Structure 1
Amino acid sequence: MGNKINKAPMSVYLAKLAALAFRRPWQTLAAWGLLVLVVSGLLMTQPRHISSGITLRDTPSQQTLDRITHELPQADGAQGYLVFTASDGTRVDTPAREEAIARALEQVNASGLVIDRETAIAKQRDAVESKIRGKVEAKVADSLRPKLTLMSDDLHAHGEMLQGLGNPAAGQILALAERSAKLSRSQPSWMIIGASQLVEELEVLKSQGASIGMGGPALVPQKLQDPRVQVNRAVSVASEPVLAELDTLLLGRDPSARPLRVGQAQFRTVAVSRDGTVAAMSIQLGDRLSDLPADVVDDLLGISRDEVAQQGLTVAATSTLRASEPPLGGRELVGLAIAAMVLWLTLGSIVAAGLPLLTAMTGVFLGVGAAFGLSAHYDMTSSTPALALMIGLAVGLDYALFIIHKYRSLLAKGQLPSESVVEAVGTSGSAVLFAGTTVVIALLGLLTLQIGFITVMALTAATTVVLAVLLSITAIPALLGLSQSRVRPSQIKRSGKKAHWVASGWTRVLSRRPLLIVGAIATCLGLLAIPASDIRLGMPAGDVAPNASEARITYDAMATGFGAGSNGPLAVVARRADGKAMGQAELLQTQAHLYRISDVASVKLVGANESRSMAIFQVIPDAGPTDPTTQRLVKHLRQETVTDLEPLEVTGQSALNIDLTEVLAAAIPTYLVVIVGLSLLVLLLVFRSVFLPIAATSGFLLTIVGTMGLMSLVFSDARFTWVVGLDRPGPILSFLPIMASGILYGLAMDYQVFLGTSMREAHVRGVGARQAVVDGFSHSSRVVFAAAVIMVSVFGGFVLTDDTMIRQFGFALSVGILIDAFLIRMTLMPALLLVVGEVAWWLPRWLDELLPKLDLEGTQLRQDE
């Protein structure tokens, strides 16, 4: 190329790499093709595993859950409800419909797909009756024993008398006498059964007495009545209050529901709402959803529908019984289509526009595909691939666009394709590498939270960014080497002149009233930030799911029939401080204690360990799972003291979500401090300026508070939820602020680096500070504008999805880019630089000598030999 290359700068190594890829395009593309084949092989041969829950190490709810599953392994199985409603909105508690639901319950329990809790409850009741029966039998046996002894003596004497008379009944009487004597020495249960049979046989002998001519009743003495009747009567009387207390324990003190009744039978695992419009069948699977066949719940629904459909009933499963699936429905392609149009308009060639699309989609296929292919080895939530796809597409398109735009600009100046590729990758590629590195560092910073699913999410997203960078600096030069004849510099000149005119006009607008513009933007973003002060974090529940979705239908039905809290039950663990067993009376006392706590709607016993030193109560809050009242209730329960018990422990999905929210909310300030520090350091290295890093970082903070304010307004204020297609307000995803901050930081640095390096390049060449802002902005604003529109389009496409989590991420990132790219980087920052002039580029000489020279402008790359 005839250029002098000094040692060390990053741009030199990237230029060499680009030259190699340009000269050997097929070998470069073959290497990427091999990776595609490897990932394809993983997808075809390895199972895909989407985790149905989250794990939060060192949080109270997770520690409690781990202890429960250690003592009661079956408690680890997925739990939820099959919800029955009438398709015409009428009652479900008619006799015919209740019979149909009962048949459905029997078929579901007989399927072998669930733990038969109805049978378990029946066995528990039988055990209570058996225990009472044992006590009653022992008491009856004590009174029966002397009677049997006396009867044995009387029968023996009577038998001998009959034997002397030659009566044929003598043998039977003597045999009964011997049996009576043996029964008097037997165990209580055998004594009562035997005595009952003895009474029956004596009655038969009495009836036969007249036929043998010996005067019926006088034949045998009557000293005993049937003891079994006495036992059954006593057991019934004694069992009734005990079983009633057991029902109170197992069914709870819940006026909003009753057990399903068919005739005299009660089915205690099916609750019927007080108004009779909803029935909920409690279901517990044998394992986690992610470890079960995918169609288990559909099979249960099919079994139930077969029984209830003819009665006009519909059945659906609550979200806790549904395995998570990647929330991608095809609507995201709208954003991708807009991005493709922007690429075509920016680059002026279908082929040139297709190259970023090709490399971006290759990158997300490799990153997301590898995540799926290896998912059996870690817990990956359903949001992970969607988020990685979102970020990978956006940065992949932008990074490739920056390099291709630079390449075409150099061609327009008359450089050869081989020279243009080397310089484009050496300059724009350096900025791409640096920008991508900042995104990756910001994402990897999330690993410090030590939250498993966030770690996987961050690593997957970071991998797609790394792949986007590598594809941009290797595959793009190779593809340009194959398609160089398709580039038309003449079009670039025409469009470039127009873009230069627009950019120059914008900088003239900024230069007229720069302080006014700075003040206006700061004021607007400050006003946008006001709703952020009331931001409500949490995990969105079924109440904000799409209207016709199963999650929304079951959530609304459960809330209507049994109260909002039924959608977020808490598991409260009570343990004896001395490790002794808890009797039924103590369990009832504990239940009553919990029930008296404010904001509690119902309490029922759902399990105990083998020693009964630990009991698990299901506590239904008055409010829904995302309501602040429920959060306060969890704290209250953990602080509650009960006599003779260890401090209460609380877990369950709602408690896990509350703990997650608290952990992340506490981590946000620290993470922002790290991000701000990193931003200052990165920009100091890139721009070798004191003022610019401070100004750019302050702009980033304005972006974050403005974005969070809009998020709170649109998702949590009922007046504005229509903007994102929701009909109800809800909380902001608890891990969104911290993840969005990291992602937006990295993307904000992208635009700042590309705009700032162009300005610095002009200033380094000797142009005055204010004119350098104009020249640099005119040179790079068009591609930054296009890149920002592409990102907003890609992220905005995900707002159209049905999944609330991904919709929130799409909105946050698209709005964040809108604010940062157009208000901060392309308006506020140029205005500030125009105000301060040369101060913008001041750096103490000692610091300038201390900092390593990155040469993102490619100065050494263009030096003559």
Structure 2
Amino acid sequence: MAKLLYRIGNWAVHHYKKVIGASIGILAVMVIAALAMGPSFEENMSIPGTESEKALKGVEREFPQPDDAGGEVQIIFKAPKGETLESESVLNKMAEVLDEIKEEDKHVVSTTTPLELGNLSANKMIGYASVVYDIPADEVSDKSKEIVLESIETTRDAGIQTELAGSVAFSEMEIGGITEVIGVIVAFVILAVTFTSFLVAGMPIITAAIGLGIGLMLILIGTNFFEITSFSLTLATMLGLAVGIDYALFIVSRYRQQLAQGYSVKESVAIANGTAGSAVVFAGITVIVALLGLGVADIPFLTAMGISAAVCVLIAILIAVLLVPAILGAMGHKMGPARKNSLIQRVKGASKNTDSSKWGNFVTKRPLLVTILGIGLLITISVPFLHMELGLPDNGTKSEETTERRAYDLLSEAYGPGYHANLVVAVKTDKNTKNPQETLNNVVKELNDLPNVKGVTPPIPNASGDFYIMNVTPETGPNDSETNDLVHSIRDKGKTLAKEDNIEVMVTGATAVNIDISQKLNDALPLFALLIVGFAFILLVLVFRSILVPLKAVLGFLLSLGATLGFIVFVIQDGNLLNVFGVPTASPVLSFLPVIVVGILFGLAMDYEVFLVSRMREVYTHTGEPRKAILVGMKDSGGVVTAAGLIMMAVFAGFMMAPDPIIKQMGLALTFGVLFDAFIVRMAIVPAVMTLMGKAAWYLPKWLDKILPDLDIEGESIMRELEKKDSHVQDEAV
């Protein structure tokens, strides 16, 4: 691997114009192709095989809807104080709004007032009108939405609170925007301080942007052939941008070190690609494997998210080992050696002993204290994880600045929180069912008698009269534990009725589907985490040729994972520090967040472990002194890992500031996941524990050492050949 990358780096320097031109050309072609085809995201987040999915398919089969069913906007009105929606002035204003929408937009096929729909609240203060289009919801244009937004100003100006809900989204999720730009700006500042050069700082961001652009365009094109959710694009953007910058940082940093040692530009690029590039490829493949491992859960939308993000990471690897060397070759000494006042030099904190750093000395002199404090802190932060509840965000978790959130609150005020948790119960009879009508009446009675049921609608039959549906409205909201219990109670009751009356009772609807998704993901988490941990241990045994070092790395990953999930529960679910992080309201943890955090945090943890500990192994192999190996590793790699961790946090924090609750949770989890893993585990606990273990850290049975392949992540074979070459040249000169 190292020798191959060395040759690739050498080739890229000689053909830098072709490499740079080809990279920009590929990006341009991808952009043109993506724009020509257009995106076609699939937001279906159901899971095949669940009870709710089975019931949903049955309902769709027996009560078919046209494929081109039009989108609907619900306009929720709340009358001013002292009036109702039946007041003449309010009626006139509502009619004026609906008439204007229908006249202005040719795609509107019908408008219906709250009185016509008969949905006024008990006090007649709140109700909703309906605007139906002749095109699907996702095809309703921005112009049509603007017509609605402009029209409802009529009722708002009249003091009638007017909000919007329905299948047409008005505050759509942001994928890219000012929040992400802020993260990139912070990353640029970190790079500028790291390298004390704006030119060098800009290069990793430019290469990462090119790689990310190619990756995102591939995903957009892929949406036309595969079912990919829009969240996949968000996750791919977060990860692709972060690792793209970090991988370039590692190679540029090594390149500058080689220049400082007197190597030529060409040789420095080749060495950097063969050494740091090897670590980049290994780390990147680790991240890709972790992302592809999301498929273990056997959940289609989650698998698509993992594959999409893995594509961006793969492109980031290729850019790092091809485009970065080409640009370094083109820029030459303009990307010169690190100055003495750079961040890397300051983090190293070189003392009189040039093989150590201030932080390295501090940790190795107090290993037991650092270990106890670090582990104790992470375990304490992990405690809330024990009562984690999973769910999917809805309009009730959005900011109050969005009209969907205000509409959600109005509908809850009018009809109760259970309005948003509506359950669809399907009943299937067969020829063995005696007295079907009496049986259905009994089902309705049994459902009404269940705890937490507000009401049950009369059964609606299909065309053949052997399949019925009814709506069950809970007393509680969609993310309340009581609603979850009600779904399971209905299913338990269905099993009893199936035996007694020869009928099949199924429950579905958005709330039931979300509950099943959360349960399936919760069940998949332990298996996925076990596979990831096992894979990490085997991989690190191969890299470090040790038993205890990989064991320590895996346990450290579990600590940072527990702390990350515990912190998310503490903030998102328990409602602490909501204002600090701009979270609108407390809610269950995003159902697929734990699995995503396991996969991504594992990959990033292995990144930092490899870049930090591989240098320690290299020194220990040459000197046999474990403490010196730790000090040199902290000195040579600590600054780079620090900068890389800060860049990751900056990029993820940019997404944390996004308004969408799903993106916000993902950004928050990954930001603090990097904080815990990079700075507490890798930069503190790892060197402290390795100091306590001494030489035992590097123990490997001889029989195992003989059969393990040598991965040469640090590119030692390259350096040995260069040393022999230099020695031969010197001998000839003598």
Structure 1 and Structure 2 fold alike (TM over 0.5)? yes
Residue matched to 1:637: 490
Q: 1:618 aligns with which of 459, 463, 471?
A: 471
Instruction: Check conservation: 2:295, 2:302, Cα contact below 8 A.
Output: yes
One-letter amino acid of the structure 2 residue matched with residue 551 of structure 1: E
Change (3 A) 1:506 1:373: same
Identity %, equivalent residues = 31
Aligned to 1:839: 696
Offset of 1:605 from its aligned partner? 4.7
User: What SS does structure 2 have at the residue aligned with 1:486?
Assistant: helix
Once residues 306 and 406 of structure 1 are traced to their aligned partners in structure 2, the CA distance between those partners, rounded to angstroms, is 60
Which position in structure 1 is the counterpart of 2:235?
387
CA contact (8 A) 1:435 1:749 kept: yes
Q: Secondary structure at the match of 2:120?
A: strand
2:648 to 762, 768, 791: 791
1:780 aligns with 2:627: no
Which of 562, 571, 580 lines up with 1:723 in the alignment? 580
607-616 or 11-20: which moved more?
607-616
User: Given the superposition, is the C-alpha separation of residues 721 and 278 from structure 1 closer, same or farther in structure 2, using an over 3 Å criterion?
Assistant: same
Structure 1 residues 582 and 82 mapped into 2: Cα distance closer, same or farther (>3 Å)? Answer: farther
The aligned residue for residue 565 of structure 1 is 418
* CA deviation profile, 1:767-824 (whole Å, cap 9, x unmatched): 4111111011101101110000000111111111101111111111110100000100
Counterpart AA for 1:59: T
Work out the CA distance in 2 between the residues paired with 1:351 and 1:426: 24
After the TM superposition, which of the residue ranges 16-25 and 44-53 deviates more from structure 2? Answer: 44-53
* Alpha-carbon distance in 1 for matches of 2:464, 2:215: 49
Relative to structure 1, the CA distance from residue 91 to residue 535 in structure 2 (aligned partners, 3 Å threshold; closer, same or farther) is farther
Of 265, 275, 278 in structure 2, the residue corresponding to residue 417 of structure 1 is 265
- For 1:274, the aligned partner's letter is A
Q: CA deviation at 1:22?
A: 1.0
CA distance in 1, matches of 2:136, 2:463: 22
1-side partners of 2:311 and 2:508: how far apart? Answer: 34
Give, in angstroms, the shift of residue 576 of structure 1. Answer: 2.0
The answer for unaligned runs of 5 or more in structure 2 is 351-355, 726-734
Quick one: which amino acid aligns to residue 468 of structure 1? A
Aligned CA distance change for structure 1 residues 601 and 115 (closer, same or farther; 3 Å): farther
Q: CA deviation at 1:497?
A: 4.9
Please say which of residues 721-730 and 468-477 is displaced more in the overlay: 721-730
**Does residue 12 of structure 1 match 2:3?**
yes
Q: How does 1:397-546 map to 2 (within 5 A)?
A: 397-489=245-337, 491=339, 497-501=345-349, 504-546=357-399
Partner of 1:190 in structure 2?
Answer: none
Contact 1:575–1:615 (CA under 8 A) maintained in structure 2: yes
Query: 1:90–1:335: structure 2 CA closer, same or farther, 3 Å change rule?
Result: farther
**Match in the other structure for 2:207:** 359
In 2 relative to 1, CA 492–63 (structure 1 residues): closer, same or farther, beyond 3 Å?
farther
Q: Secondary structure at the match of 1:843?
A: coil
Aligned residues: 709
Mapped partners of 1:71, 1:418: distance in 2: 70
Number of the residue aligned with 1:95: 87
Q: CA deviation at 1:445?
A: 0.5
1:440 CA displacement: 0.3
The alpha carbon displacement at 1:393 in A equals 0.7
**Where in structure 1 are there 5+ consecutive unaligned residues?**
1-9, 119-258, 262-266
Q: How does 1:242-261 map to 2 (within 5 A)?
A: 261=115
User: Structure 2 CA distance, aligned partners of 1:303 and 1:859?
Assistant: 67
Deviations 1:220-246 (A, max 9, x none): xxxxxxxxxxxxxxxxxxxxxxxxxxx
Alignment partners' CA distance in 2, 1:100 and 1:609: 39
Q: Does 1:656 align with 2:647?
A: no
Q: Which amino acid aligns with 1:712?
A: V
Q: In the TM superposition, what whole-angstrom CA distance separates every residue of 1:206-261 from its partner, at most 9, and x where no partner exists?
A: xxxxxxxxxxxxxxxxxxxxxxxxxxxxxxxxxxxxxxxxxxxxxxxxxxxxx954
Which residue of structure 1 aligns with residue 60 of structure 2?
A: 69
Report deviation, 1:493. Answer: 8.0
After superposition, residues 579-728 of structure 1 pair within 5 angstroms as: 590-605=443-458, 607-641=460-494, 642=497, 644=501, 646-728=503-585
For structure 1, which segment, 366-375 or 422-431, has the greater mean C-alpha deviation from structure 2 after superposition?
366-375
Contact kept in structure 1, 2:427 and 2:467, CA below 8 Å:
yes
Q: Distance in 1 between matches of 2:680 and 2:46?
A: 39
Distance 1:27 1:743 in 2: 34
Deviation at 1:732, TM superposition (A): 0.5
Deviation string 1:239-294 (CA, Å, 9 cap, x unpaired) is: xxxxxxxxxxxxxxxxxxxx954xxxxx2x3411112221024677777534x444
For 2:59, give the aligned amino acid: I
Are residues 303 and 726 of structure 1, via their aligned partners in 2, closer, same or farther at CA, if it must alter by over 3 Å?
closer
1:41 aligned residue:
32
Aligned pair in 2 of structure 1 residues 582, 651: CA closer, same or farther (>3 Å)?
Answer: farther
Distance 1:107 1:69 in 2: 34
Q: Is the 8 A contact 1:348 1:492 kept in 2?
A: no
AA of the residue aligned to 2:264: L
Question: Secondary structure of the residue that 1:331 maps to in structure 2?
Answer: helix
Alignment of 1:757-776 (within 5 A): 757-776=614-633
Alpha-carbon separation, structure 1, partners of 2:684 and 2:148: 57
Q: Secondary structure at the match of 1:379?
A: coil
* 1:180 corresponds to: none
Aligned position for 1:22: 13
Tell me, yes or no, if the aligned pair for 1:83 and 1:278 is still in contact at 8 Å.
no
Conserved? CA contact 2:20–2:323, under 8 Å: yes
Q: Which amino acid aligns with 1:63?
A: K
Deviations 1:282-310 (A, max 9, x none): 677777534x4445973884697498567
**Structure 2 SS opposite 1:491:** coil
In structure 1, give the amino acid aligned to 2:145. Answer: D
Supply the AA of the counterpart residue of 1:479. Answer: I
Deviation at 1:622, TM superposition (A): 0.8
Instruction: Return the offset for 1:832.
Output: 0.7
The partner residue of 2:590 within 730, 733, 744 is: 733
Q: Does residue 332 in structure 1 map to residue 177 in structure 2? A: no
1:223 is matched with: none
- Distance in 1, matches of 2:174 and 2:687, equals 41
Q: Distance in 1 between matches of 2:151 and 2:411?
A: 18
1:35/1:301 CA distance change after superposition, 3 Å: same
Partner AA of 1:818 in structure 2: L
- Are 1:56 and 1:660, in contact at CA under 8 Å, matched by a contact in 2? yes
One-letter amino acid of the counterpart of residue 21, structure 1: A
Going from structure 1 to structure 2, the CA distance change for 1:614 and 1:495 (only over 3 Å counts) comes to: closer
Q: Distance in 2 between matches of 1:773 and 1:361?
A: 35
Alignment of structure 1 residues 183-194 onto 2, 5 Å:
none
Using the alignment, how far apart are the partners of 1:654 and 1:109 within structure 2?
32
CA gap of 1:86–1:518, structure 2 versus 1, over 3 A, is same
Query: CA separation of 1:529/1:325 partners in 2, compared to 1, >3 Å: closer, same or farther?
Result: closer
| Alpha-carbon offset, residue 94 of structure 1 | 2.9
Q: Deviations over 1:338-364 (max 9, x none)?
A: 100011111222221111101111111
Q: Is the 2:433–2:501 Cα contact (8 Å) retained in structure 1? A: no
Q: Distance in 2 between matches of 1:490 and 1:785?
A: 16
Paired with 1:91 and 1:582, the residues of 2 have a C-alpha distance of 49
Q: Equivalent residue of 2:224, what SS?
A: helix
Question: So what's the TM-score if we normalise by structure 1?
Answer: 0.77
**1:499 Cα deviation after fit:** 3.8
Q: Tell me how far apart the structure 2 counterparts of residues 45 and 84 of structure 1 sit (CA, whole Å).
A: 38
Deviation at 1:519, TM superposition (A): 1.2
Equivalent-residue separation in structure 2 for 1:75 and 1:597 (angstroms): 34
Q: What is the one-letter code of the residue matched to 2:455?
A: S
Output the amino acid matched with 1:49.
S
| Greater CA drift, 422-431 or 361-370 | 361-370
Please list the CA deviations of residues 5-35 of structure 1 after superposition, one character each: whole Å capped at 9, or x if unmatched: xxxxx10001111110111001112222232
Superposed displacement of residue 322, structure 1: 2.2
Indicate whether 1:278 and 2:126 are aligned.
yes
Alpha-carbon spacing, 1:636–1:348, altered in 2? closer, same or farther (3 Å): same
Structure-1 residue corresponding to 2:160? 313
Are 2:400 and 1:547 equivalent residues in the alignment?
yes
**RMSD, aligned α-carbons:** 2.9
- The reply to whether residue 31 of structure 1 matches residue 31 of structure 2 is no
